[in-house]
Amino acid sequence: MRVLLVEDDKDLQRLLKQALSDAGYVVDAAADGEEGHFLGDTEPYDVVILDLGLPKMDGVRVLEQWRKAGRKMPVLILTARDRWSDKVAGFDAGADDYLAKPFYTEELLARVRALLRRAAGLATSEIEIGALRIDTRSSRVTFDGNPVKLTSLEYRLLAYLAHHRGRVVSRTELVEHLYDQDFDRDSNTIEVFVGRLRKKLDPNLIQTVRGLGYSLESPDALRAESVAKA
């Protein structure tokens, strides 16, 4: 999952970027409103953490412009402004959640997970697809009750497909959400990671849709659908 962090406090930005990276997220960071607006308007993000008191362009204005342009990614406002009127302004501009400074990093991470769950239509932090279990809180994966050891990129790929289960996800979309803006992106690596996941899990768990991309669905559900069509 790819996160945009717009925060002008260098120390806080560095701390949060590290915490989010440690939690398995790909993080792009901006230190002012203009850069943040540009990134949010041109790059696909799964969630945005947005400060309000930003140089060059206020956070509320950034958010308003995103929403006017049809950008629908979940946005968590992070700010020292804790008056109720500021919160109302943030929510009216299109914010999905609000966290006032000072805060605990664990709470911010929990709110990010909640926003991602909500966007994917999930009720809990654990994703269950057939014999596959993904605990998004601890980044742990089990299959048939057995722990599965994944690299960070393998986990990111699996988690992204799981959050969009049943939908065909293109290689381009996967690349955009697995790597940050400065990474030398190569869509051919996606096929390599998919192959590794198939070996570690059920080979039928990730389906290739020729010419379109990949879809993650329970093999049992696929078999039932096949029988129903027969």
pLDDT band per the 50, 70, 90 thresholds, residue 225? very low
Quote the pLDDT of residue 186: 64
Same domain, residue pair 43 and 132 = no
Residue 218 pLDDT greater than 80, yes or no: no
Beta partners for 26? 2
Residue 228 pLDDT greater than 70, yes or no: no
Please give the Cα distance from 148 to 37 (Å, whole number). 38
Quote the pLDDT of residue 133: 95
Residue 189 pLDDT greater than 90, yes or no: no
Same domain, residue pair 169 and 191 = yes
pLDDT band per the 50, 70, 90 thresholds, residue 185? low
Same domain, residue pair 144 and 109 = no
Average pLDDT of the residues in 49-57: 94
Between 84 and 41, whose confidence is greater? 41
Domain C-terminal end among 78, 95, 120:
120
The parent domain of residue 109 ranges over 2-120
* CATH code for position 31: 3.40.50.2300
Q: 1-15, 28-42, 165-179, 211-225: which range is least confident on average?
A: 211-225
Average pLDDT of the residues in 48-69: 95
Quote the pLDDT of residue 154: 92
DSSP 8-state secondary structure symbol assigned to residue 47: E
* CATH code for position 181: 1.10.10.10
Please give the Cα distance from 207 to 214 (Å, whole number). 6
Same domain, residue pair 140 and 215 = yes
pLDDT band per the 50, 70, 90 thresholds, residue 120? confident
Domain C-terminal end among 104, 120, 136:
120
Same domain, residue pair 19 and 116 = yes
Please give the Cα distance from 94 to 66 (Å, whole number). 9
Quote the pLDDT of residue 226: 42
Please give the Cα distance from 184 to 180 (Å, whole number). 9
Mean of per-residue pLDDT scores for the chain: 88
209-224 b/e (C-beta count within 10 Å ≥ 16 → b)? eeeebbbbbbbeeeee
pLDDT band per the 50, 70, 90 thresholds, residue 184? low
Average pLDDT of the residues in 137-152: 92
Domain C-terminal end among 120, 149, 164:
120
Same domain, residue pair 106 and 130 = no
Please give the Cα distance from 103 to 91 (Å, whole number). 19
% of the chain exceeding 70 in pLDDT: 91
Residue 81 pLDDT greater than 90, yes or no: no
Beta partners for 77? 50, 98
Task: Tally the domains of the chain.
Answer: 2
Please give the Cα distance from 223 to 228 (Å, whole number). 9
